[in-house]
């Protein structure tokens, strides 16, 4: 009897997790087209790092 409760709780948890990830993907996917989340500013060190990666043709 206890095993069935754990299984049901486990299924409920994963359904909730799937819904959360789905909403996350929908939100960030819509942002690509609607631009409602502002881009943050990178520090100079981060800019130098990514510039070096692009300069060496590194795929990220």
Pair 37, 31: CB distance under 8 Å: yes
* pLDDT confidence band for 21 (50 / 70 / 90): very high
Q: Is the pTM of this model over 0.75?
A: no
Task: Say whether pLDDT at 28 is over 90.
Answer: yes
Do residues 31 and 24 touch, judged by C-beta distance below 8 A?
no
Give the pair of three-digit tokens for residue 22.
Answer: 């789905």
Residue 57: predicted pLDDT: 81
Give Cα 6 distance to the centre of its chain.
28
pLDDT, tens digit, 9 for 90 and up, residues 39-55: 889 999 999 998 988 88
Average pLDDT, the chain: 86
């Amino acid at each position: 009897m206890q095993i069935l409760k754990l299984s049901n709780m486990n299924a409920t948890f994963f359904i909730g997790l799937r819904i959360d990830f789905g909403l996350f993907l929908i939100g960030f996917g819509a942002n690509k087209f609607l631009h409602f989340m502002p881009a943050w500013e990178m520090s100079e060190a981060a800019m130098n790092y990514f510039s070096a990666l692009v300069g060496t043709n590194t795929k990220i």
